[in-house]
């Protein structure tokens, strides 16, 4: 009868879990002792966490706990929070109007009330840099959402159902992978006359979804082969339930990681396209447009280039760092 | 249907009233890049309510594939059921629509897998997974399902069920996880359970507890149990009947004590002789020579003939049907797919 053996089994489990707890505790100490700037892969060891006494934790709450202690995440998170806030309410930190320009001030350096100086058209560089965040963040976030949703739905379904649809989708993604982004942008966006951010976002989604779709397909195929999916099926779960409840939560992590890193590259791509004159167009305020306009005066008035370019670099870096931190937190194998 | 005449007579006999599941001449192939693997080649077996059938065989003998075909969770493609019938309470499951089969899975027949850690979803709490059975099949609310989950965990004797219901699979020990798997399979009180090597991943003391629990719940609910295993020790304790599989066929089926007393197939004999015994200290362990056949190229005649110490010319030419084994004192049905079952029986 099972009863008498029960304590023995519990004891074995207790020892194992206890070991994991100790590890987690020592890790916390190391981090507290200051591991600032540890970069990607911060935090030693790991393994399954949580003992019988700990509250129930899932992959997600575990990841969140890891993230909160990761300086890379904290720094990049703060930068991104700041960017989002100023793109929502730019007037909070600047009273100027980015389109209020006086040619008399063209190329002037910094002066009281105008810390970053003026650009070639006599517009305040500080105000334009602040307002430029909106275009970058909008393009980055919308393009990433679009890419993530389209890519994971198509890739996930192809991975789950396999067969002909999978083969067709894989060939389509091959085709899209073969299109050079900048060349594609020059061709497709040069025919667009709209002044809004949507054509640029649309173009990024069009070219970006195959990347996510491949990753989603791969991770769905991996998750599909897990015994618990077979077990769910053997206990009567429908396709939709298996896909949404058992496969998706176990397959979504790589998609989130790649999407976060891609967000930074979309912002850079928007600037590239705007620089080339096929992305956003004036009067939209964008770092790419300003960088493009300032590049010819780099020797006379470098401040006109440095501020928007610096803002762009910090933004892209912040998103890529965030992606790294999220990857470290979600992928226990990298610990 | 490509049923050999000799076996057709056995298969068409009407099942006894209590028969819960009957598999008739099941054949499954896997189409792979390298060719067609014939994983199951005409399996017949039957399980009655309250009966335990142990399906015994090496890896690749087709025991798990047969179970997957019964459950309807075979991967199609590459798998393909080329012929046969799976009668569950007299109804051929292979003729049902997928949606109808899905409703049977979990509610009327359930499966327990080998490795409970990988059979439980790591991102869902065990309560959610247990409760899911009631949400899917009974349309229960989350709250009621949660209460049911606690009840089930109590029933499989998980201590502090109320507190542990929100925990995740990795927070349980191996034995506890297997209990949770059993609880999931039992949740809707199915009439048939297929347990695919339920104790292989557990250590020996826990194995006994889990088997006891399974046997107890089976008695309580009067379920049919198909126990897939390669562990002859487990079989002796709990099974009523044994079906020994080799190369996708049943080679011997008999009441459990009869088979241990005197095997009627050289393969079964080899399996029994290869159990290490305590009085064998210092001697070489017995092993059946050779390897199981390649399923893409099963030898002609009896599939076991290249490894069989008793093989004669007839074994290399003629595939033996499942002969009725009879002798004095045998009350239940016993069969052997060996031309020389009489000689084997005599030892």
The ipTM assigned to this model is 0.71
Chain B residues in contact with A235 (beta carbon < 8 A): 105-106, 110-111, 132-133, 136, 184-185, 187
| Mutant choice from B97, B170, B212 vs A, greatest count of A C-beta within 10 A | B170
Q: What percentage of chain A exceeds 70 in pLDDT?
A: 80
The answer to whether A10 contacts chain B (CB < 8 Å) is yes
Give the least confident one: A22-31, A251-260, B144-153, B288-297. A22-31
Run of H or E residues at A307: helix A303-330
B78: cis peptide before it, omega within 30°? yes
Domain ranges of chain B: 19-120+192-346
pLDDT at residue B176 greater than cutoff 80: yes
**Confidence at residue A61, expressed as pLDDT on a 0 to 100 scale:** 76
Superfamily of domain A74-99+113-334 in the CATH hierarchy: MetI-like (1.10.3720.10)
How far apart are the C-alpha atoms of B309 and A83, rounded to whole Å?
A: 79
Half-sphere exposure of A31 (CA within 13 A, CB side): 20
Nearest CA in chain A to B173: A13
pLDDT in tens, B220-238: 888 899 999 877 777 877 8
| Mean of pLDDT values over A186-195 | 82
**How is domain B19-120+192-346 classified at the architecture level of CATH?**
3-Layer(aba) Sandwich (3.40)
Q: How confident is the model at residue B58 (pLDDT cuts 50, 70, 90)?
A: confident
Q: Quick count: other Cβ atoms within 10 Å of Cβ A108?
A: 17
Give the least confident one: A326-335, B28-37, B265-274, B318-327. A326-335
pLDDT at residue B247 greater than cutoff 80: yes
- Tell me what the pLDDT averaged over chain B comes to: 83
Written as one string, the DSSP assignment of B264-307 is SSHHHHHHHHTS--GGGTTSPPP--SS-PPPTTSPPSSSTTGGG
Is the CB of residue B4 less than 8 Å from the CB of residue B42? yes
Q: Which two tokens stand for residue A119?
A: 């650009």
- Tell me whether strands B224-229 and B241-246 are parallel, antiparallel or unpaired: unpaired
- DSSP state, B125? -
pLDDT in tens, A14-53: 333 333 333 333 333 333 333 333 333 333 333 344 344 4
- Tell me whether strands B52-56 and B224-229 are parallel, antiparallel or unpaired: parallel
pLDDT in tens, A120-163: 777 778 888 888 888 888 888 899 999 999 999 999 999 888 88
E-state strands within chain B:
19-32, 35-48, 52-56, 79-88, 91-92, 109-112, 192-196, 224-229, 241-246, 249-255, 323-324, 335-336
pLDDT in tens, B251-260: 999 888 888 8
**Confidence at residue A17, expressed as pLDDT on a 0 to 100 scale:** 39
How far apart are the C-alpha atoms of B7 and A313, rounded to whole Å?
A: 77
How far apart are the C-alpha atoms of A80 and A65, rounded to whole Å?
A: 19
pLDDT in tens, B95-107: 888 888 888 888 8
pLDDT in tens, B2-21: 444 444 444 444 445 578 88
Is the CB of residue A56 less than 8 Å from the CB of residue A319? no
Domain ranges of chain A: 74-99+113-334
pLDDT at residue A311 greater than cutoff 80: yes
How far apart are the C-alpha atoms of A145 and A328, rounded to whole Å?
A: 21
The closest of A268, A266, A280 to A211, measured between CA atoms, is: A266
| Mean of pLDDT values over A58-72 | 80
Q: How confident is the model at residue A333 (pLDDT cuts 50, 70, 90)?
A: low
Nearest CA in chain B to A252: B123
How far apart are the C-alpha atoms of B245 and B134, rounded to whole Å?
A: 35
How far apart are the C-alpha atoms of B166 and A56, rounded to whole Å?
A: 6
């Amino acid at each position: 009868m099972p009863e008498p053996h029960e304590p023995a089994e519990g004891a074995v489990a207790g020892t194992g879990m206890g070991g994991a707890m100790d590890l987690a505790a020592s890790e916390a100490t190391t981090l507290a002792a200051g591991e600032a700037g540890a970069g990607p892969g911060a935090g030693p060891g790991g393994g399954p966490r949580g003992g019988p006494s700990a509250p129930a934790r899932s992959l997600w709450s575990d990841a969140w706990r890891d993230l909160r202690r990761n300086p890379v995440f904290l720094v990049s998170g703060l930068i991104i929070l700041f960017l989002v806030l100023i793109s929502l309410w730019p007037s909070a930190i600047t009273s100027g109007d980015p389109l209020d320009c006086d040619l008399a001030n063209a190329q002037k350096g910094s002066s009281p009330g105008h810390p970053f100086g003026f650009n070639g058209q006599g517009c305040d560089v500080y105000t334009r840099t602040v307002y430029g965040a909106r275009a970058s963040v909008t393009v980055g976030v919308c393009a990433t959402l679009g890419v993530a949703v389209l890519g994971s739905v198509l890739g996930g379904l192809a991975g789950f159902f396999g067969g002909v649809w999978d083969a067709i989708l894989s060939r389509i993604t091959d085709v899209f992978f073969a299109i050079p982004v900048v060349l594609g942008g020059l061709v497709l966006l040069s025919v667009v006359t709209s002044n809004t951010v949507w054509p640029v976002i649309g173009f990024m989604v069009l070219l970006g979804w195959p990347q996510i779709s491949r990753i989603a397909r791969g991770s769905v195929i991996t998750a599909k082969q897990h015994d618990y999916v077979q077990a769910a099926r053997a206990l009567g779960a429908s396709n939709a339930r298996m896909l949404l409840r058992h496969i998706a939560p176990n397959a979504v992590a790589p998609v989130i990681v790649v999407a976060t890193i891609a967000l930074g590259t979309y912002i850079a791509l928007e600037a590239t396209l705007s620089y080339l004159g096929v992305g956003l167009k004036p009067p939209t305020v964008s770092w790419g447009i300003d960088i493009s306009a300032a590049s010819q005066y780099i020797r006379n008035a470098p401040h006109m280039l440095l501020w928007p370019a610096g803002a762009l670099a910090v933004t892209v870096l912040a998103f890529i760092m965030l992606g790294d931190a999220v990857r470290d937190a979600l992928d226990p194998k990298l610990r | 249907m490509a049923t050999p005449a000799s076996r057709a007579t056995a298969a068409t006999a009407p099942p006894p009233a209590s028969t819960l599941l009957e598999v008739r001449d099941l054949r499954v192939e896997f189409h792979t890049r390298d060719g067609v693997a014939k994983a199951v080649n005409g399996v017949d077996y039957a399980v009655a309510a309250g009966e335990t059938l142990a399906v015994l065989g090496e890896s690749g003998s087709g025991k798990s594939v047969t179970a997957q075909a019964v459950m309807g969770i075979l991967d199609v493609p590459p798998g393909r059921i080329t012929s046969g019938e799976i009668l569950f309470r007299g109804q051929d499951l292979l003729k049902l629509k997928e949606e109808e089969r899905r409703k049977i899975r979990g509610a009327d027949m359930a499966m327990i897998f080998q490795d409970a850690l990988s059979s439980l979803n790591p991102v869902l709490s065990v309560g959610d997974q247990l409760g899911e059975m009631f949400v899917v099949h009974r349309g229960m609310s989350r709250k009621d399902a949660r209460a049911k989950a606690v009840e089930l965990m109590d029933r499989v004797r998980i201590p502090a069920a109320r507190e542990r219901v929100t925990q995740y699979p990795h927070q349980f020990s191996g034995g506890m996880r297997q209990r949770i798997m059993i609880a999931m399979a039992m949740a809707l009180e199915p009439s048939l359970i297929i347990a695919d090597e339920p104790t292989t991943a557990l250590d020996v003391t826990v194995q006994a507890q889990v088997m006891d629990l399974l046997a107890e719940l089976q008695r309580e609910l009067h379920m049919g149990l198909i126990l897939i295993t390669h562990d002859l020790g487990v079989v002796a304790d709990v099974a009523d009947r044994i079906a020994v599989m080799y190369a996708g066929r049943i080679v011997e089926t008999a009441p459990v004590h009869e088979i241990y007393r005197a095997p009627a197939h050289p393969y079964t004999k080899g399996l029994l002789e290869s159990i290490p015994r305590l009085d064998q200290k210092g001697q070489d362990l017995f092993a059946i020579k050779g390897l199981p056949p390649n399923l893409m190229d099963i030898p002609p005649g009896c599939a076991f003939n290249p490894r069989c110490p008793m093989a004669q010319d007839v074994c290399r030419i003629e595939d033996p049907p499942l002969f009725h084994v009879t002798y004095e004192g045998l009350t239940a049905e016993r069969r052997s797919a060996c031309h020389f079952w009489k000689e084997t029986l005599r030892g």
